[in-house]
Structure 1
Amino acid sequence: MLKTFSIGGIHPAENKLSANSAIQVLPIPQMVSIPISQHIGAPATPIVKKNDEVKVGQLIAKSSGFVSANIHSSVSGKVFKIDDVMDASGFRRKAIIIKVEGDEWMEDIDQSENLVKEISASKEEIVKKIAEAGIVGLGGATFPAHVKLSVPPGKTAEVLIINAVECEPYLTSDHRVMLEKGDEVMVGTQILMKSLDVNRAIIGIENNKPDAIAHLTKLAANYKGIEVCPLKTQYPQGGEKQLIAATIKREIPSGALPIEVGAVVQNVGSALAVYEAVQKNKPLFERVATITGKSLKNPSNYKFRIGTPVNDLINAAGGLPEDTAKIIGGGPMMGKALTSVEVPLTKGSSGLLLLASEDTARKDIKSCIRCGKCVSVCPMGLEPYLLMVCAEKKDYERLEKDAVMDCIECGSCSFTCPANRPLLDYIRLGKGKVGQIMRARK
């Protein structure tokens, strides 16, 4: 019997339209806008100014704290200006805008395709290189990777879990990375194991990707300590707590981190980025993302340079379909609608989903019928119907008491509600306010 987590979960239509589309390289744009905040934590501090010439891979903004990440130029050219640009959420954020001239890389980056398997760096050197390269979680959360690898005093890492679940409908970029860069992922996993001083790594993959399971299982035979764990297809298995419960059957206490149960989780795309940083001296300035949609001419997977406008990705896949009603950054369950096609793609851009009007229209909201479906599908064991009511009434004390901060915002409750209630919308609002209150208290 295939493993999965035990509490809640749903199985929406998968719609993996681009699963058989090999990774293509998106042409370099004429201009990039590289935000200085592409990660959880403090924004990076620019170290370049207008008219400075930069190369691909050059550090252009330095991390401003422990929970922060370096930013590197994804192109070569001249800094046009440092200004506010619209981000994926519709807010204006500071970015370094570079006019592209050629494609000159930093001399110390190894651009060859040769696989480097021998890991010569020490565990301390590995964490330092990962921090210098600006690597963050590429599954969407964008948590700085070096922070996760810095195990707090008194805690011990026992197992590394590689998140290759890709449970969001439509998205296939991680799937293609596994098929096309499997050995690099394996070496990256070994590097992460060495940094944590653990002897065991588990790569969790849902069984709707049998080719990736077969491919990595075959490769794993040549890499000591790495095992591939096929999982039952169940959303939101890509959540850290759900993945840990599925693979090693350990439950993380409310408010705690995975290290409390001896686990560290990294995305499969992050493992590839770690390989490139440690073995090739290549910072994180490009990544793979899916562009997809039922009306899109060519649903595909593209490797793009950070800071590329969303519109370039759309044009490469055949252009914007006439029936497009919303463009979602990420997947349909946890992604957010974009306000403009000119916003830049970032480290956290795992996908772009173009939805037609029939797939985006909200149905009339009805009164709660007390069916309990939202409770039964919540993977965190919460009561979404109650949390929504508390958020509506601004009862923040009750929201905190009922563990609203444990919500992972997966959207399972809204998806399953027969009364079409916007449960997640209100829970997000309540969670945001409770978070502010808790931080002010500290």
Structure 2
Amino acid sequence: MPHNPAGPVDGSAVDGLFVGLISGTSADGIDAALVRFERRPGSRDTVELLLGRTYAWDEALRTRLVALGQGLDAQSLDELGTLDMQIAEAFADAALRLLDDAGVPAAEVHAIGSHGQTVRHRPDGARFDGRRPFTWQMGDGGLIAERTGIATASDFRRRDVAAGGHGAPLLPALHAALLADASEDRAVLNLGGIANFTLLPANGPVRGFDTGPANCLLDAWCHRHTGAAFDAGGAFAAQGTLDAELLARMLEEPWFMLPPPKSTGREQFHLPWVERRLDGDESPADVQATLLELSAITIADALRAHQPATRRVLACGGGVHNPRLIERIGAHLPGVAVESTAHHGVDPDFVEAMGFAWLARQTLSGLPGNLPSVTGARGPRVLGVVHPAA
């Protein structure tokens, strides 16, 4: 449905149809969104999600991507090059299937915004081991443009990192446009593999940062012990009991104490991270229950620390469909309404894909896509690399 954003009017941006593509930390599918943007002179731009779909990865490719994301090394440069092309092919196919499902010709789409698949995210490498900061999203934009015949903007995060930022989160500007309210302090909570907040005070600058794991540890532990890709409805966690001592060991992780700007991924929070904190006699269900509590409490702690007057949390991402996770987040935030973005007319499953359609629009319009108050970059930057249709 159409939305009348609360953000500033941008009269210089390109109107029309854009496609956004993203596969997040969990790599549980390629989210694709067909979005129409329309300028409204004298009022706020309109953003309309025409169609959102999630397309499955080839399972063998997904398994390799998850392994890479958890810190396992590729065997060769040839393997990395091949993966880059395989990811791009999967993204291109998702875009074409989306347009086919929507009955929209490719010629009517201005551009695709492709996030790609993150395989490493080390924007603060120097803080830990002296490495150069970097972030790496695979999925060659040139191949996507070639296969679809649509101009493709990709590689959005690296310019922000080059400017001293974290390259993440990148969607708070869109969150502000769609979901801010001048009458109350709000926060948008994205529950993907990693959880991140966009803080939307009634008065003051927009801020945002990662809080730590949302679903990535839950999914990985569930898959190991049940074979299921994720804990549907939190049922596996509900079979267990919170292990307070294990939770305390997990909460000692120094990353949780870092101030914003901050971002993270599977390279930080993965199964070996969990295993190092186990005594060895915990039941799998108890560990699952404790991982869920870890996600809930670190999310709540971060909000209390950085925007304690928040009255409403608007949740999106896959974790919205885990009622036990939502319940536990709410339990740690008494007096705060925790609700899906669906209550505000925004499909929680496609907020991020819509965001990369918006980023493509910003890039083609020559407009900044980052918020330095969020990422810590030295200033606003036009993000991404554009691969023309022909």
Give the TM-score taking structure 1 as reference length.
0.27
Answer 1 or 2: which has greater helix percent: 2
Give the number of the structure whose alpha-carbon radius of gyration is greater.
Answer: 1
Larger relative contact order, structure 1 or 2 (CA cutoff 8 Å, min sep 6): 2
Give the TM-score taking structure 2 as reference length.
0.29
